[in-house]
Amino acid sequence: MLTILITGSKGQLGTEIQELSAHHQDIQFFFTDIEELDICSADAIRTYVHGKPIDYIINCAAYTNVDQAEKNEEKAREINAEAAKNLASIAIEKDITLIHISTDYVFSGENHTPYTEQEKAKPSGIYGKTKFEGEEFIRKICPKHIIIRTSWLYSPFGKNFLKTMLTLGKDKKELGVVVDQIGTPTYAYDLAACILAIINKTTKDFSEYGTYHYSNEGVCSWYDFATDIQIIAKNKCNIKSIESKDFQTLAKRPYYSVLNKSKIKHIFAIEIPHWKSRIEHCIRRIIE
Ligand SMILES: NC(=O)c1ccc[n+]([C@@H]2O[C@H](COP(=O)([O-])OP(=O)(O)OC[C@H]3O[C@@H](n4cnc5c(N)ncnc54)[C@H](OP(=O)(O)O)[C@@H]3O)[C@@H](O)[C@H]2O)c1
């Protein structure tokens, strides 16, 4: 039986993997978050995996508060970079395949065409910088890795843009949302399904380890995303386009961070839903 350890399992992506695990009775999952397994401690990871026949680790744990990372660089580095190094060291020791999630914020956003995996990372904030450092540790230490960079994650769980827009849109008549940051939303449910499909395709004779990009299909601004959320939720709130210069945040965000997904689609033969087609599924789950 395949055995998978999930770290950071109470976050958005981790919770979606838990939801999907019910359909995978042939896999033994160990779901952990910081209370059960703090990935900042190499000793804790070593003790946890000892005696368990772990085949894969899916690292969903991260320091994801992009703005707070600007003020807490040390903490962000400890979780996003040093802890990734811990996992990579133990993965190589125990012959475990490490699946690690990273971000579109490793890119500067100066492109006008979707970023491929080969393009040079140039993060503009601490979050992106520490996530890239984590990637580099994994690439250096653990050859059996799959790093998946994703963008604009949302789900019915935790804190995310879709949930914020739903809540604000219920009460407010008008909301200003930035129109000059372009990317692609990713439904965490789809990413979770993609990861489990990847695992299924890597159990035998697999050699294409490395870095991959995954988001939903299509391209939009936060303004477009917010508008669709209000329409689908049947909120009366008017979304007004504003520019980033009029919406100051601690961390600078890339203006353009669309990810090119050709590689993941080709290597794993997966189909990716369009971002517009997934909002309703998520809202329905939130309402139910
Ligand atoms: N959210 C996005 O928009 C986005 C975009 C692109 C990429 N990503 C990447 O996608 C992945 C999943 O993101 P997500 O939104 O699901 O994250 P999330 O909701 O913030 O979940 C992360 C989980 O990790 C836990 N955690 C923090 N420190 C830990 C530690 N030392 N040991 C074990 N667990 C720890 C967190 O606990 P606490 O809540 O108690 O801290 C939380 O439960 C991350 O790698 C993230 O960088 C996210």
DSSP string, 61-78: -----TTGGGT-HHHHHI
Q: Say which residue the tokens 């050859």 belong to.
A: 143
Taking CB atoms and a 6 Å cutoff, what residues make up the pocket around ligand 1?
Answer: 7-8, 10-13, 33-34, 38-40, 60-62, 64, 79, 83, 101, 103, 131, 150-153, 158
Residue 260 has pLDDT above 90, yes or no: yes
Q: Cα(215)–Cα(229) distance, rounded to whole angstroms?
A: 18
Question: Mean pLDDT throughout 92-104?
Answer: 98
H-helix or E-strand containing 213? strand 210-213
Domain edges within the chain: 2-159+185-217+258-273
| 223 in active site | no
Which ligand 1 atom lies nearest to the CA of residue 104? Answer: 6
H-helix or E-strand containing 220? strand 220-221
Name the pLDDT band for 288 (thresholds 50, 70, 90): confident
Ligand 1 center to 276 CA (angstroms): 24
**pLDDT single digits (tens) 186-210:** 999 999 999 999 999 998 899 999 9
- Nearest to residue 129, comparing CAs of 73, 185, 213? 73
Give the per-residue pLDDT at 148: 98
Ligand 1 center to 198 CA (angstroms): 20
Catalytic residue among 48, 56, 127, 189: 127
H-helix or E-strand containing 191? helix 188-202
Query: What angle do helix axes 222-233 and 161-171 make, rounded to 10 degrees?
Result: 60
Average pLDDT, the chain: 97
Q: Which two tokens stand for residue 110?
A: 């100066």
Q: Which of 153, 157, 163 to mutate to test the pocket of ligand 1 (most atoms within 8 A of CB)?
A: 153
Range 2-159+185-217+258-273 has CATH code 3.50.50.60? no
- Nearest to residue 76, comparing CAs of 133, 34, 122, 33? 133
